């Protein structure tokens, strides 16, 4: 065993978006920085390696497949193309830090020894790193629900790396990840069944939005089973057997793969947070204040590990807050965030920002609602031009102020449209202004004019 020590100004544990961007920014300012990542396969973080980039690349590959294309060959090539892409980006992310003389990238498992000291182990080697400031950026990990992961029972991480297309895929969970994967694999040619404990998929969305999404999925041949309590998942070698109860009746179905998609939880196990005096919340996230400081003022937590929204772009904004604390005015905070959008990459995508209609009414808002099926848009030809007339566009507007409280866009280009709506919400642009703005033609944005004209 070899042991050594080093001292730095900033230590970042975890190569995710917020941490790596902060490490680069501080290194370029002349600070001595150490970045610790437990696996060289995770340089760049979750998004690049097992999250946003590979999954959205596979969604794109699935959309390109034509009915006459062999499903297994197409999928195998898609997985290889995606692996090549993530490998390229992983290398670029490593070089982004490794080429800075002030930054040292360390591969190994990190564990706090005390509030200022982290021990990094890699095999028989041990490195003790002492830092003035420490940032925890370890991300999140799949919730397995007690199911044994391995073989034919997988999380999204294993599934996207498997070059064999599962002809029969059972998805346990009808949330955002579950339905995105269900849609993707159905387009690759798999027979897909989604088992959801809730009465309907996407239970956080308004029922009308979720219903339209469900209709689209069923139109792709996907079987949706609501109020399904999965009682057993068994890997039988040649296939897996999934047993669930619905309305008191037990049913067993066979699958070539079972995707457990029950969400993700902060990755804090075995970090030695007790030794650092860092408190966690009831859900296991690192507890932070509005400036992302933990219970130790010199230790911050950014990204999924702090229990905030699990989006790469939120992690990026986390880095801005911490950088402002370290070398700026120290005024930026999570309280500054308004109208943070998100997208589920179905085909067409579902993007949302702000309050749902249900949330707005529950909060006591007097509201007006504008909603229209994409197929009913008369003055907006782009859906017909791109052969994507499925979906729904919906706005929730404050009745007194005309301010946009939220929007759900299930339509072509929704992942781009939602950013414009979010920007309008942040800057107080009213629904009437968004309706009456001049848009190019034919474009997806001009649909706002027609949809918002129907505010009731």
CA distances from 108 to 1, 13, 35, 120, 295 (A): 14, 10, 10, 6, 25
> Does 185 count as an annotated binding residue?
no
Helices 52-64/71-98 angle, 10° precision: 150
* Helix residue ranges per DSSP H, 2-120: 17-28, 46-49, 52-64, 71-98
CA dist 117 and 143 (Å) reads: 29
> Does 174 count as an annotated binding residue?
yes
> Does 164 count as an annotated binding residue?
no
> Does 175 count as an annotated binding residue?
yes
> Does 75 count as an annotated binding residue?
no
Handedness of CA 106, 112, 115, 117 (dihedral sign): negative
> Does 178 count as an annotated binding residue?
yes
> Does 180 count as an annotated binding residue?
yes
Other CB atoms within 10 Å distance of the CB of residue 242? 22
Q: At 252, which helix (H) or strand (E)?
A: strand 249-255
> Does 304 count as an annotated binding residue?
yes
**285 and 316 Cβ atoms separated by less than 8 Å:** no
> Does 56 count as an annotated binding residue?
yes
Q: 1 by DSSP, 3-state: which? A: coil
Q: E strands within 302-363?
A: 342-344, 350-354
> In the structure encoding, which two tokens stand for residue 347, read together?
């085909």
Rounded to 5 degrees, φ, ψ at 154 are: -135, 165
Q: Is 441 an annotated catalytic residue?
A: yes
CA dist 434 and 368 (Å) reads: 15
Catalytic residue among 197, 203, 427, 441: 441
Handedness of CA 347, 351, 357, 363 (dihedral sign): positive
b/e 176-197 (16+ beta carbons within 10 angstroms → b): bbbbbbbbbbbbbbbbbbbbbb
CA dist 306 and 319 (Å) reads: 12
> Does 98 count as an annotated binding residue?
no
Handedness of CA 200, 203, 205, 207 (dihedral sign): positive
Binding residues for FAD: 56, 304
Binding residues for NAD(+): 173-180, 263
**Residues catalogued as catalytic:** 441
Binding residues: 56, 173-180, 263, 304
């Amino acid at each position: 065993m070899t042991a050594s020590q080093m001292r730095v100004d900033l230590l970042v544990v975890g190569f995710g978006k917020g941490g790596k961007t902060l490490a680069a920014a501080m290194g370029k300012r002349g600070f001595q920085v150490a970045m610790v990542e437990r696996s060289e396969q995770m340089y760049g973080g979750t998004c690049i390696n097992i999250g946003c980039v590979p999954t959205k690349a596979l969604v794109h590959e699935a959309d390109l497949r034509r009915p006459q294309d062999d499903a297994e060959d197409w999928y195998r090539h898609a997985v290889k193309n995606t692996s090549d892409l993530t490998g390229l980006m992983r290398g670029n992310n490593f070089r982004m830090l490794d080429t800075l003389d002030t930054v040292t990238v360390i591969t190994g498992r990190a564990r706090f020894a005390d509030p200022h000291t982290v021990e990094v182990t890699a095999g028989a080697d041990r490195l003790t790193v002492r830092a003035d400031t420490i940032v925890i950026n370890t991300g999140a990990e799949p919730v397995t629900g007690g199911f044994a992961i391995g073989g034919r029972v997988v999380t999204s991480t294993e599934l996207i790396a498997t070059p064999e297309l599962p002809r029969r895929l059972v998805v346990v969970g009808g949330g955002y990840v579950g339905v995105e994967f269900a849609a993707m694999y159905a387009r690759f040619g798999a027979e897909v069944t989604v088992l959801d404990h809730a009465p309907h998929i996407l239970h956080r969305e308004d029922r009308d939005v979720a219903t339209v999404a469900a209709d689209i999925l069923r139109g792709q041949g996907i079987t949706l089973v609501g109020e399904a309590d999965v009682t057993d998942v068994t890997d039988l070698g040649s296939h897996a057997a999934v047993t669930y109860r619905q309305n008191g009746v037990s049913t067993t179905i066979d699958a070539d793969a079972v995707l457990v998609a029950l969400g993700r939880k902060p990755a804090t196990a075995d970090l030695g947070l007790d030794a650092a005096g860092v408190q966690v919340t009831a859900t296991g996230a690192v507890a932070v204040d509005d400036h992302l400081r933990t219970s130790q003022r010199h230790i911050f937590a950014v990204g999924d590990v702090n229990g905030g929204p699990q989006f790469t772009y939120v992690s990026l904004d986390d880095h801005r807050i911490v950088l402002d604390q370290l070398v700026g005015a120290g005024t930026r905070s999570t309280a500054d965030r308004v109208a943070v959008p998100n997208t589920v990459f179905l085909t067409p995508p579902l993007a949302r920002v702000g309050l749902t209609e249900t949330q707005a009414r529950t909060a006591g808002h007097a509201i007006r609602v504008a909603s229209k099926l994409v197929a009913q848009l008369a003055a907006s030809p782009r859906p017909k031009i791109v052969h994507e007339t499925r979906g729904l566009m919906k706005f929730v507007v404050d009745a007194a102020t005309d301010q946009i409280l939220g929007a759900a866009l299930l339509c072509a280009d929704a992942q781009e449209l939602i950013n414009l709506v979010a920007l309008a919400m942040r800057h107080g642009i009213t629904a009437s202004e968004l309706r009456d703005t001049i848009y190019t033609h034919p474009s997806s944005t001009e649909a706002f004019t027609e949809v918002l004209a129907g505010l009731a």
